[in-house]
Amino acid sequence: MKSLLRKISRLHVLVIGDVMLDHYIWGDAQRISPEAPVPVVDVDRETYTPGGAANVALNLASLGAKATIAGFFGNDDSGRRLAGLLKQKGVATIATPGTGATITKTRVLVRRQQLCRLDRESPQHDYHIEPARFEATFGKIIKQVDAVIFSDYAKGLLSDELVAKVSAMARANKVFVALDPKPKRQLNFREPDLITPNRSEALQLAGLEQAPHLPFPAAEVCARIYERYRPKHLVITLSEAGMLLSHQGKPGRTVPTMAREVFDVSGAGDTAIAALTLGLAAGASLDEAAHFANVASGVVVAKLGTATVTPAEVLAHLAEEK
């Protein structure tokens, strides 16, 4: 694992997607409001962290790679705060054109339990990039990176044209391409090196509907996704069941989870695609990259809130497991 981490430290990855600011309000509630049957929260503190595609970039940087994030940063306090937080962590930013508010998610937590979430965002068309801008925005940096990750949170930045054009640029420069899809967007992508849907997203990509309590139809899902999208590697994250690996439409082994305890799964998918991409771009096999990603995700879900993982935490987690 130390050898892999050394190789990762030499990589540069570009993330393109829906950036967000995660805002946490921490407090306690010991009484009910006389105005309505709701708890009164006494606020203790507030914290902010990059979320969405920005959290993918933050995980890349935390694991030792060089990261650049391209996304929409609004001309508002949230946009400036988000860009500042990323700069503090060494993540370079490319502000894509657009109008509207920076996507912000505010979570109110009482005694480590989420009470509610407040979302602020503009209509999807405000974040859309015109095709004529693709070359100017991404043409130069594609030649400087080792991998590209499309991080789709269904907010409108990614489009069929953008994914197709940037993927073609990447292939021309032998750059690894990964995609974390949101099937409800129905992006028309083909032949990425890696896609990382979760269980429900994989079913949607395969065009299947299934009750949650039924066994996961791995063979049919993998075959259908490969037929439609032709990914080189498919990794389906199955929460506590681990990660299902698939190559050329055939299900392989399931890597069991390495999470000892789970406080919060928010952002775990961001960690997974960041670690998988770094592992594969560094020359690891799919099994090796999945093992690395499983360890990294196991560390993150033991933390509360949107979180990242460091090489030291990965090595410590492995040592404890042994």
Q: Are 156 and 125 in contact (CB under 8 A)?
A: yes
Token pair, residue 242, equals 């681990």
CB-CB neighbours of 25 under 10 Å: 18
Distance, CA of 275 to CA of 279 (rounded, Å):
6
Active site residue 270: yes
CB-CB neighbours of 26 under 10 Å: 18
Which of 42, 160, 270, 287 is catalytic? The answer is 270
Sheet holding 104-110, edge to edge: 39-52, 19-32, 104-110, 113-120
Burial grade of 261 (CB within 10 A; 0-12, 13-18, 19 or more):
exposed
Smallest Cα–Cα separation from 196: which of 229, 173, 168? 229
Task: List residues with catalytic annotation.
Answer: 270
